[in-house]
Amino acid sequence: MAQLEIKNLHVALEDGTEIVKGVDLDVDLGQKHAIMGPNGSGKSTLAYALMGHPAYEVTKGQILFDGEDLTELGADERARRGLFLAFQYPHAIPGVTVTSFLRSAINANRKAASGGEDDPVPIPEFRTNLLAAMEELRVPRELASRYLNDGFSGGEKKRVEILQMAMLKPKIAVLDETDSGLDIDALRIVANGVNKLVGPETGALVITHYQRILDYVTPDFVHVFVDGRIVAEGGAELAHKLEAEGYEAFGANGNGKVQS
Ligand code: ADP
Ligand code: MG
């Protein structure tokens, strides 16, 4: 049994339009998976549904985490079980600093882990870990005391998403186009962050439009995603085939849907 099991997942928008049309995918600890698909194919919809965003309704199928059905759980409960989503478009939270946001998130996870008892991370331990992670990910120190994503550049937002991931140490990290909008140095730092995190206790699902990040994060499995479905699967070599042949070779039209 894999840590994350997605079974025949169908996801619809609030108006009933079906976007994800039956996805089966297992992601286990220690594995790096890449979902590659054109714009508009439903990648973010899949990511939001995994995290429990209320605007995306699971109409059929299941999401299992460590064997437990998450489908009816809220995003916070999923996070506490060890599922993490780095957003394609991170939201700003004016009034909440990066530091206090991270500390609250860690403490919520610790509380859940200790069966509902408060068990806050000691401040010195938190500071040491935060400074080490920021140094590693080359997040400028001054960002820690700024409001989360408020006025951050695109690259800063993405790095702070990876900082959250490094601090929260999820079991399964889903990264939705964390590579888009990054220059090559930032891309390397983000990729290193993913590579360091994935190990015996963590797996990753890297969602991307481009092959570029996969030059730095070598996936064990590549899933080609067109019009809400996985249409091809393979190893890292599939990413190179895609780069050479484009999504049209997999039936996509210009809108991420299938040609009609
Ligand atoms: P991708 O991430 O692969 O680019 P998305 O999941 O963002 O694709 O979008 C898939 C389709 O669903 C698109 O046609 C998009 O316009 C539509 N869509 C996604 N979310 C919403 C929403 N909240 N409201 C309306 N349409 C949406
Ligand atoms: Mg998207």
Pocket test for ligand 1, best of 9, 11, 13 (most atoms within 8 A of CB): 13
**Nearest bound ligand to the CA of residue 225:** 1
Looking at all shown ligands, the one closest to residue 89's CA atom is 2
What residue owns the CA closest to ligand 1's atom 14? 40
Q: What is the pLDDT of residue 259?
A: 67
DSSP reduced 3-state for 28 = coil
pTM of the predicted structure, to 2 decimals? 0.94
Check residue 138 and give left, alpha or beta (phi > 0: left; psi -120 to 50: alpha). Answer: left
- Ligand 1 centroid–CA 12 distance in Å is 10
167 falls within a domain:
yes
| 255 in any annotated domain | no
Residue by residue, pLDDT tens for the chain (260 residues) are: 999 999 999 999 999 999 999 999 999 999 999 999 999 999 999 999 999 999 999 999 999 999 999 999 999 999 999 999 998 888 899 999 999 999 999 999 899 889 989 999 999 999 999 999 999 888 899 999 999 999 998 888 989 999 999 999 999 999 999 888 888 988 998 899 999 999 999 999 999 998 899 999 999 999 999 999 999 999 999 999 998 999 998 888 878 788 65
Predicted local confidence at residue 129, as pLDDT: 96
- Alpha-carbon separation of residue 105 from 77, 98, 169 (angstroms): 12, 11, 11
Nearest CA to ligand 1 atom 25: 13
Domain span at 47: 4-250
- Among all ligands shown, which has an atom nearest to the Cα of 36? 1
**Is residue 259, in this structure, part of any structural domain at all?**
no
Q: Is 81 close to ligand 1, i.e. is its CB under 6 Å away?
A: no
Residue 128 in any domain: the answer is yes
Q: How far is the CA of 131 from the centre of ligand 2 (A)?
A: 31
CB of residue 61 inside a 6 A radius of ligand 1:
no
Q: Output the CA 118–ligand 2 centroid distance in Å.
A: 36
Compute the CA torsion angle 56, 223, 68, 30 (nearest 10 deg): -130
Structural domain contains residue 155 = yes
Structural domain tally of the chain?
1
In a domain, 241, yes or no: yes
- Residue 188 identity: R
Spatial distance between the Cα atoms of 164 and 72, rounded to a whole number of angstroms: 25
H or E segment and range at residue 194: helix 184-197
Q: What is the CATH number of the domain that holds 182?
A: 3.40.50.300
Q: Whose CA is nearest to atom 24 of ligand 1?
A: 13
Interval between CA 44 and ligand 1 midpoint (Å): 7
Which residue carries 């996985």 as its tokens? 230
Taking the centre of ligand 2 as the mean of its atom positions, its distance from the CA of residue 81, in whole angstroms, is 24
User: CB under 8 Å to 228, separation ≥6 — which residues?
Assistant: 11, 18, 19, 20, 21, 22, 23, 41, 42, 45
Q: Is residue 258 part of a domain?
A: no
pLDDT of residue 214: 93
| Contact by Cβ (8 Å): 230, 223 | yes
| Per-residue pLDDT at 260 | 59
Position in ligand 1 atom list of the atom nearest CA 38: 3
